[in-house]
């Protein structure tokens, strides 16, 4: 969950200062992925710049999300789990994570561009339906029809290595 909120181009909280988003990785993106929006850009001073991906939050947005979570008034107390100063979440139980991901994450992601948010919201709804107490045959048929479309939308945004495990999910429902 923290991996979603943290931008993929920033170091993770476990490995401060370390990231796999280096120049060599961006050159591979240019060669293998055909993702022009993520390719290195030559600046006027001769240095190379890494453009920000459309699914990442600005530091200001990320801080405001953590602040929003810390100020939530919920019976289970999500506020104790978020630290806006450090930009981290910790101490959530499994049930808390599921509730957070199914109910609150779409609200937290609303600051992303519409095409990114809508794809993530559809994925969220898919998992919410999948984890529901009752699952009717028509729901499974609808989910089976929707998951390839959702995966295609996600493939347009996220790097290929991020979505490899999602292809397994589509095979389950095909």
Domain membership flag for residue 3: no
Q: Note whether 86 and 164 are same-domain residues.
A: yes
Q: Assess whether pLDDT exceeds 70 at residue 16.
A: no
Say which range, 90-104, 107-121, 128-142, has the weakest mean pLDDT. Answer: 90-104
pLDDT band at 160 (very low <50, low <70, confident <90, very high): low
Residue 137 pLDDT level (bands cut at 50, 70, 90): very high
64 and 45 within one domain: no
Coil, strand or helix: which one is 58?
Answer: coil
pLDDT band at 162 (very low <50, low <70, confident <90, very high): low
Q: Which of 17-21, 91-95, 115-119 has the lowest mean pLDDT?
A: 17-21
Q: How many domains does the chain have?
A: 2
Q: Are residues 41 and 71 in the same domain?
A: no
29 and 94, same structural domain? no
- Within its chain, how far is the Cα of 87 from the centroid? 15
Q: Are residues 124 and 38 in the same domain?
A: no
122 and 167 together in one domain: yes
What confidence tens digit (pLDDT) does each residue in 68-97 have? Answer: 888 877 765 555 678 888 888 887 777 777
CA 36 to chain centre: 20
15 and 68 co-located in one domain: no
pLDDT classification of 34: cutoffs 50, 70, 90: low
42 pLDDT more than 90: no
For residue 142, what pLDDT is reported?
Answer: 93
Average pLDDT of every residue of the chain: 75
Range of the domain at 114: 59-173
pLDDT beyond 50 at 114: yes
First to last CA, the chain: 27
Residue 1 lies in a domain: no
**Phi/psi at 56 (nearest 5 deg)?**
-100, 155
* Whether residue 110 sits in one domain with residue 34: no
pLDDT value, residue 145: 92
Count of residues making up the chain = 174
Nearest CA among 87, 70, 109, 90 for reference residue 16: 87
Distance CA 15, CA 5 (A): 16
Instruction: Tell me, yes or no, whether 43 and 87 share the same domain.
Output: no
């Amino acid at each position: 969950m923290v991996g979603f909120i943290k931008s993929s181009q920033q170091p993770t909280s476990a490995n401060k200062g370390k990231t796999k988003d280096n120049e060599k990785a961006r050159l591979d993106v240019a060669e293998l992925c055909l993702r022009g929006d993520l390719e290195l850009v030559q600046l006027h001073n001769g240095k190379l710049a890494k453009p920000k991906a459309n699914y990442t939050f600005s530091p200001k947005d990320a801080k405001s999300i953590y602040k929003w979570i810390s100020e939530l008034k919920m019976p289970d107390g999500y506020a104790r789990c978020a630290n806006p100063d450090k930009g981290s979440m910790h101490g959530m139980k499994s049930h808390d994570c599921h509730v957070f991901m199914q109910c609150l994450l779409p609200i937290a992601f609303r600051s992303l561009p519409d095409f990114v948010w809508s794809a993530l919201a559809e994925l969220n709804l898919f998992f919410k339906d999948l984890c529901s107490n009752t699952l009717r045959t028509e729901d499974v048929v609808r989910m089976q029809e929707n998951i390839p479309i959702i995966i295609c939308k996600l493939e347009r945004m996220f790097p290929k290595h991020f979505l490899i495990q999602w292809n397994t999910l589509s095979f389950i429902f095909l």
